[in-house]
Amino acid sequence: MTTYGSFPGARPRRLRTSPVMRRMVAETRLHPADFILPAFVREGVGEPVPVAAMPGVVQHTRDSLKKAAAEAVAAGVSGIMLFGVPEDAKKDAVGTPGTDPDGILQVAIRDVRAEVGDELLVMSDLCLDETTDHGHCGVLDEFGRVDNDATLERYAEMAQVQADAGAHVVGPSGMMDGQIGVVRDALDQIGREDVAVLAYTAKYASAFYGPFREAVASSLQGDRKTYQQDPANARESMRELALDLEEGADLVMVKPAGPYLDILARVADAVDVPVAAYQISGEYSMIEAAAEKGWIDRDRAILETLTGIKRAGARNILTYWATEVAQKLVKG
């Protein structure tokens, strides 16, 4: 005799039976427009310089950067976040290359705008760490501590020269108190109300930044724990979020992405502005290294991590795989 209604009555596996079924019911989808490509441009080099700790990533020349920007446009990527690497001899205690109109970052902004115009959002890292001889994100006082308010004065100048160079978006990343308000005011003072501010709202003092230090030829000795957030803290991020919004942030970001998906989800649930997340150098390098050893499936791991970041609430993702993944998504 046939028995009907046998256990189990609910069979969720019916919605996983085939690729087309799984695609139809997918709750989270990646799109090329989700991505922002971080890119490094180095002064005084004749050809791209590979970053040993980040396989596949280079310090660009001005010409190779323009090519990378054009490739990002063709792939449908939304933006490019530029980091300038000046010659060591030009670094000083106050990060002069960061406010020099002919500093490498400002030159690169102009180059990319000339190459792609408004087809790609040109975003600029607004921080002093790449341009100071001590490697910190701000000006130091007589005791070697980062002077918050003196640093804000430098950030204001940086915002103005980056806007003059053609940045669509500036990204204050130094985690100084009051940085968003100062940058917004500095931009408005020169009539650049059109330039958006991407706030590095929750930027943690992470061990995963290691490969990035090579990419920007950092001079840092010590750490940044007195201004970047403690990985143990979550509520602190919500306080930073409230302050950034009050000061005029147009977009907010969580960095790193993978180890802080809980923070990302809390931020995304709390705001009505776009939320970004930065899949940083260490996250990138771990996957590349494990894949090179044959321990994981590289392409699947990349897509899984990016999907997890978007599922947690990121509208946009800064990732070194931006163009590669966007190209694959376009091809289906």
Torsion sign over Cα 114, 116, 118, 120 = negative
Task: Provide the CA 241 distance to its chain's centre, in angstroms.
Answer: 17
**Closest residue by Cα to residue 226 from 298, 292, 133, 136:** 136
The stretches of the chain forming alpha helices (DSSP H) are 19-25, 62-75, 104-116, 148-165, 179-189, 210-215, 235-247, 261-270, 281-292, 298-311, 322-331
- Catalytic residue ranges: 203, 255
> Six-digit token pair at 57?
């990533």
Q: What is the DSSP string of 136-167?
A: -SS-B-TTS-B-HHHHHHHHHHHHHHHHHHT-
Task: Please tell me the number of Cα atoms within 13 Å of 1 on its side-chain side.
Answer: 3
Q: In degrees, to the nearest 5, what angle opens at C-alpha 298 toward C-alphas 295 and 301?
A: 95
> Between the CA of residue 259 and those of 3, 29, 265, 277, 311, what are the distances in Å?
49, 21, 12, 11, 14
Q: How far apart are CA 280 and CA 320, in angstroms?
A: 8
Partnered with residue 140 across adjacent β-strands are 146
Contact indicator for 254, 278 with CB cutoff of 8 Å: yes
